[in-house]
Amino acid sequence: MAATAVRPSPNFILDEAEPEVDEPLPLDLVEPQDGEVVLDKSHCYIGDRGGDSLNITPEQAASCTKLSLRRNYIRNADTLLSAISPDCLTWLCLSANALTSVPVCVGKLVNLRHLYLCNNKISVIENLEGCKHLETLEFRHNQISKVEEGCLASLDKLQTLTLSSNHISTFSPNVFPTSLTFLGLYGNQIADFNLLLSVVERLSALKTVYMGANLCFGGLPLRCSFNITVEYQPVASGGEAKRQKCDLMQYGFSDVLRVVKEKQPSLISIDGNDV
């Protein structure tokens, strides 16, 4: 008999989900290191009653290394960011605004290492070609439906990529940089478990992955039971490549952890669970 997935309590879902990182402010912004010039322009009504100016001095604009513009009303950040020296900025937070696209000028921030764009209305990953030193890229809670081929091609130093809580249904496994140690795909619309497995298998440096609450798990966290059809890789038989299928009934939490870990032994955490 097919297994029935039982929706857990709301608290259980929150425990299973990928942790939020843009609230509260990261420690490296609250307590800057020597030589860093940090500007916190959060909650300043920029783009609304606060106008479209950062209201900073020329000295601050020329030396700013970390800038937070989260929780404003910004729809277009290009004018705002053009006031900041593109050579100095290493950390930028534009989370919780009204952005519908990645600002064009972001690609000119040649020394940017950490970029947070969570909780916007962005639908396409773009304008990142010049960010060759990027290590952290956060797109949680946007409207991205597809990860286009080549959109991350120049980010060969990227370690953390979060695309959770979007509308992603498909992508090429080769689209993600092999430098990734953290990948968040939680809460999307991925219906093919094998696609997730192929991504994990390719990322040999991966330590942490979040993949639950996708369509292949019935939209539920991994701690539920599932009915998943697993397609194994093609095998040679009589000179022809054939794909073998196996229906796994009661394919649940421990089974998912085991199969994912087998695909990528470097993993130490799957959806918050040690493996």
Q: What is the pLDDT of residue 10?
A: 32
Phi-psi region of 218 (alpha: psi -120 to 50; beta: other; left: phi over 0): left
Per DSSP, helices labelled H in the chain are 10-16, 27-30, 58-63, 78-81, 193-202, 253-263
Q: Which two tokens stand for residue 41?
A: 């322009």
Gap between the Cα atoms of 124 and 23, Å rounded: 24
88-132: pLDDT as tens digits: 999 999 999 999 999 999 999 999 999 999 999 999 999 999 999
pTM (predicted TM-score): 0.85
Rounded to the nearest 5 degrees, what angle is found at the Cα of 259, between the Cα atoms of 257 and 261? 65
Please say whether the beta carbons of 198 and 190 come within 8 A.
no
Gap between the Cα atoms of 79 and 159, Å rounded: 29
Least confident of 7-11, 154-158, 167-171, 265-269: 7-11
What residue has token string 């290191």? 33
Q: What is the pLDDT of residue 24?
A: 45
193-207: pLDDT as tens digits: 999 999 999 999 999
17-65: pLDDT as tens digits: 565 544 545 545 556 677 788 999 998 899 876 577 898 999 999 999 9
pLDDT band per the 50, 70, 90 thresholds, residue 5: very low
Residue 148: pLDDT above 80? yes
DSSP string for residues in 120-170: S---S--S-TT-TT--EEE--SS---EE-TTTTTT-TT--EEE--SS---E
Please say whether the beta carbons of 42 and 67 come within 8 A.
no
pLDDT band per the 50, 70, 90 thresholds, residue 230: low
Q: What is the pLDDT of residue 112?
A: 97
**Proportion of the chain above pLDDT 90, given as a percent:** 65
Residue 86: pLDDT above 70? yes
Q: Considering only residues 49 and 157, tell me which one the structure prediction assigns the higher pLDDT.
A: 157
**Rounded mean pLDDT of the chain?**
83
What residue has token string 């304008």? 127
Q: Considering only residues 250 and 67, tell me which one the structure prediction assigns the higher pLDDT.
A: 67
- Neighbouring C-beta atoms of residue 267, cutoff 10 Å: 19
236-271: pLDDT as tens digits: 444 444 444 444 445 678 888 999 999 999 999 999
Q: What is the pLDDT of residue 48?
A: 73
Q: What is the pLDDT of residue 53?
A: 85
Q: What is the pLDDT of residue 113?
A: 96
Q: What is the pLDDT of residue 28?
A: 54
